[in-house]
Structure 1
Amino acid sequence: MSERVQNRSAGQGPGTKAERRLAAQLAAKKAAEKKRRRQSVLGALAGVAVVAVLIGVFVAVNGGDDDKKPAAGTPSASAPAAAAPGTQQLPEGTDPALATKPAVGPGKGELTKLAVTTLVKGKGPEVKAGQQITTNYVGVFYKDGKQFDSSWDRGQPATFPIGVGQVIKGWDQGLVGVPVGSRVQLDIPGDLAYGNESVGGRPGGPLRFVVDVLAAQ
């Protein structure tokens, strides 16, 4: 091994100092470049933050596009206004009497069989078993007239299949054959309703319903 190589290995020759100086220059250059990149990233992030703040202020002041759209369930400007409490908008051609919630009182005497009383006769086709019907209804206890259920109070008609065992027997038997557009009173004994005892929060005993048949399909 030569003396020059030995000196370099020991870190003593003039060549070693030059290499160290070069290495130091390279290290300083890398550090400066890294610092410039960091400053560039921080500057970009600061710019994004400023833009985000400006957008937030613009939306807060102007309401944004979303504020100009109706919220879910809110009528648009072109849609008809919501019906007042206790009223319903009706399909075209329906008797106006069906637009207002009926007053339903108690029955009289003992109820032993299903009784169907037509209060308003509709002009539509008769309901057939297996159809989906749309109704408004009020349900009360037959004996005292106390209400236990009402689609009117929920603000939305109820739609369900009829004549196929999906509702109580009094409805299946009492509504098949009723013309669409009718308002009928169903006096239903307990064995055709939910039974004679109140179980699981269901009303027990004889019941009275006033049902508006709005549609069938």
Structure 2
Amino acid sequence: MSERTQQNRSAEQDQSPATKSGRRLAAQLAAKKAADAKRRRNAWLSGIAAVVVAGGLIAVFVMIGGGDDKPKSQADATPSASAPAPDAPDAAPPAPQLPADADPALGSKPTVTPGTGNLTKLTVTPLIKGKGPAVQKGQNITTNYVGVFYKDGKEFDSSWKGGQPASFAIGVGQVIPGWDQGLVGVTVGSRVQLDIPTDLAFGKDAASKGQPEGPLRFVVDVLAAQ
């Protein structure tokens, strides 16, 4: 076979449909790769531009914030009204919410003195007569109170210390017997003195339980009953 004949056959093969399809496919792949590369390059350039813009904005904000040499307003320099200044004295506990038509004296802590003699029975002494309904057994009552040792008047407990009245069910054993027996029937808005012998207080072994020992005196304000 002559050299010219071989060249003619090679030219015919290059012009065959299979060869043309291969070339078109190769051209398409090359175009796709070029387009992908262009998109990646554009995205990279966009990212760099965004970082540069953000950096510029941050620098502007820093300069604005750092250049504010004006003194703070009085409201900014003053502690919140809900918290006292560090050097301020402790505030007095808030006055309790009193019943309607209650004696204003119930808004102040009473002074409790020691008792005299040998206390052998429960004694209830009205100090202020309330105008509300009488306390009934099983009701939940709200009270302010001061408790002292009957013999020397030394205070051992008081709801006034925290400015928060005490609430509990009465006549059902939640409190000492002297309270269960002495407060039932007392009218709301009253202040009463309860002189309670040892057996109706915390008992003879109270000290071993960390409780007040001996006869006790309480002054109790009955603020509500439900």
The verdict on a shared fold, with TM-score over 0.5 as the criterion, is yes
Does residue 1:201 correspond to 2:182, yes or no?
no
Partner residue of 2:192 out of 156, 171, 184: 184
For residues 98 and 193 of structure 2, what CA distance do their matches in structure 1 show?
19
Q: Give, in angstroms, the shift of residue 206 of structure 1.
A: 1.5
TM-score under structure 2 length normalisation: 0.66
- Report which of the two structures shows the higher radius of gyration computed on alpha carbons: 2
Contact 1:86 1:152 in 2 (8 A): no
What are structure 2's unaligned runs of at least 5 residues? 1-9, 15-22, 84-90
Q: Hey, what does 1:101 align to over in structure 2?
A: 109
Q: 203, 210, 216: which one pairs with 2:219?
A: 210
Q: Distance in 2 between matches of 1:91 and 1:124?
A: 8
Measured after TM superposition, the shift of residue 128 of structure 1 is: 0.3
Output aligned runs, 1:60-79, within 5 Å. none
In structure 2, C-alpha distance between the alignment counterparts of 1:61 and 1:41, rounded to whole Å: 37
Number of the residue aligned with 2:170: 162
Q: Is the 8 A contact 1:189 1:207 kept in 2?
A: yes
Percent of aligned pairs sharing the same letter: 57
Per-residue Cα deviation, 1:167-209 (whole angstroms, up to 9, x for no partner): 1111100000111111111111222222233244322222110
CA 207–40 in structure 1, closer or farther in 2 if over 3 Å, else same: farther
Amino acid at match of 1:34: A
Q: CA deviation at 1:122?
A: 1.4
Q: Cα distance, 1:116 vs. partner? A: 0.9
- 2:34 is matched with 25
Q: CA RMSD in A?
A: 4.1
Q: Matched residue pairs, number?
A: 190
Partner-residue secondary structure (3-state), 1:191: helix
Please list the CA deviations of residues 4-54 of structure 1 after superposition, one character each: whole Å capped at 9, or x if unmatched.
8xxxxxxxxx9999789657634532332432553476579779979x999
> After alignment, is 196-205 or 184-193 more displaced?
196-205
Verify the 8 A CA contact 2:93 2:162 in the aligned structure 1.
no
State the alpha-carbon separation in 1 of the partners of residues 45 and 122 from structure 2: 89
Offset at 1:106?
1.3
Cα pair distance change 1:63/1:20, threshold 3 Å: farther
- Which of 108, 122, 125 is residue 114 of structure 1 equivalent to? 122
- Trace 1:24-43 onto structure 2 (pairs within 5 A): 25-36=34-45, 38-39=47-48, 42=51
Partner Cα distance (1:33, 1:181) in 2: 83
Match of 2:132 among 80, 104, 124: 124
**Which secondary structure does the structure 1 equivalent of 2:207 belong to?**
coil
- TM-score (structure 1 length as normaliser): 0.68
2:125 equivalent to 1:145:
no
Contact 2:98 2:189 in 1 (8 A): no
